[in-house]
Amino acid sequence: MTVMEQRGAYRPAPPPAWRPRTDPAPLLPDPEPYRVLGTGAAADADPGLLRTLYARLVTGRRYNAQATALTKQGRLAVYPSSTGQEACEIAAALALEDRDWLFPSYRDTLAVVARGVDPVQALTLLRGDWHTGYDPYEHRVAPLSTPLATQLPHAVGLAHAARLTGDDVVALAMVGDGGTSEGDFHEALNFAAVQRAPVVFLVQNNGFAISVPLAKQTAAPSLAHKAVGYGMPGRLVDGNDAVAVHQVLSDAVRHARAGGGPTLVEAITYRIEAHTNADDATRYRGDEEVAAWRRHDPIDLLERELTARGLLDEEGVRAAREDAETMAADLRARMNQDPELDPMDLFAHVYAEPTPQLLEQRAQLRAELAAEAEGAQR
């Protein structure tokens, strides 16, 4: 038989059967972000929840304004404002039970405060101190994370460990759109999905990573679509609709607690202020874009709904603003007090066993401080 005849006779065996490991269709996000406010669905929303969200959003916005003012007075080193993103911040905190954990990024001070952390303590790190200022165990809030996305594997680790020990807590981790390009994002989502860890990932897509717009960050149809590649559901929500964000996150928390595994939620929102007080946003975006987002303001959306349902009147608006002013006055007064600082703290908590060099430097500083104090007395 010739080679050609042999080839003609060759019939390859069919490959082993292949099927997708999970049906991707239920994991896909809806084509449009989920909305409640301004749609018929809002009629079902609990009046108590609407009022609480409103009061917290108004106070949250005032907190952002006050903290930004404190940077100008040199009382705060840096403040990444979440003005325009208050709905995500507050809904994230309210979607959790007391026993759950929040893993925030540096922009999420409002969520941290909404969890119960003292408003001044929550600013300790941003004031320039070396520690977070609050006890993470008291309100189950991890430290505000400045290195992008590092809080995500931490959240997954905590959630996975809790599940192994039969503790039914859920971890909710917050990250920005830029953070989704980090390796930690990939590792956290992959591990969480494989282990079915009880975690909810909330991406606040506020359009920018400092000056980098989303189009330069990803070619994916949406950030929520990334979930499908890991085998978890991806959900898209209007991040300025506090009721919608609260519903989507609450569903994801319930799903995680019931053993259903993680969910990736992408909230479409906008960063109204610059990245921080050290940034000039006019260098990379136009006023019209900002103005368009101001017309889709999270507080206005909620206020319109409450007013239309007869749940809020002028007196209610005034009361919410007064409460916010009281909070701001207290924040101002306490932030204007000089904290008692001990320069020797520089050497504490660096190593369990200080190095000889550190011991030497510590002795030198102690001697200098003593000499200075002596000089001041004379």
Ligand X SMILES: Cc1ncc(C[n+]2csc(CCOP(=O)(O)OP(=O)(O)O)c2C)c(N)n1
- Please, which of residues 238-277 interact with ligand X by CB under 6 A? 271, 275
284 is catalytic: yes
| 302 near ligand X, rule: CB under 6 A | no
Q: Which residue is nearest to ligand X, using beta carbons?
A: 176
Q: At what angle do helices 47-72 and 298-308 cross, to 10 degrees?
A: 150
Residue 335: CB minimum distance to ligand X, A: 22
- Half-sphere exposure (CA, 13 Å, Cβ side) for 213? 7
Residue 71: CB minimum distance to ligand X, A: 16
Task: Mark 132-171 with x for binding to ligand X (rule: CB under 6 A) and - for no binding.
Answer: --------------xxx-----------------------
Give whichever of 176 and 261 is closer to ligand X, judged by the CB atom. 176
295 is catalytic: no
CA gap 281, 231 in Å, rounded: 37
Q: At what angle do helices 298-308 and 86-94 cross, to 10 degrees?
A: 70
Place of tokens 């069919």: 14
H/E segment holding residue 212 = strand 212-213
H/E segment holding residue 208 = strand 208-209
CA gap 250, 26 in Å, rounded: 18
Residue 104: CB minimum distance to ligand X, A: 11
CA gap 143, 88 in Å, rounded: 18
Residue 203: CB minimum distance to ligand X, A: 9
Whether residue 293 contacts residue 272, with contact meaning beta carbons closer than 8 Å, is answered with yes
61 is catalytic: no
Give the pair of three-digit tokens for residue 14.
């069919």
**Catalytic one of 284, 296, 304, 362:** 284
Beta-ladder partners of 176: 204
CA gap 267, 124 in Å, rounded: 27
| 87 near ligand X, rule: CB under 6 A | no
Among positions 178, 234, 262, 298, the unique one binding ligand X when judged by CB under 6 A: 178
The window from 48-56, 175-183, 220-228, 289-297 that contacts ligand X (CB under 6 A) reads: 175-183
Listed in sequence order, the residues at least 6 apart from 337 whose beta carbon sits closer than 8 Å to its beta carbon are none
Among positions 56, 61, 62, 107, the unique one binding ligand X when judged by CB under 6 A: 107
Residue 301: CB minimum distance to ligand X, A: 21
Place of tokens 């009629």: 43
| 343 near ligand X, rule: CB under 6 A | no
The window from 57-65, 172-180, 260-268, 364-372 that contacts ligand X (CB under 6 A) reads: 172-180
The window from 126-134, 201-209, 239-247, 361-369 that contacts ligand X (CB under 6 A) reads: 201-209
Give the pair of three-digit tokens for residue 269.
């929102």
Task: List contacts with ligand X (CB under 6 A).
Answer: 107, 146-148, 176-179, 206, 208-210, 271, 275
Would you please indicate which residues are annotated as catalytic (active-site) residues? 271, 275, 284
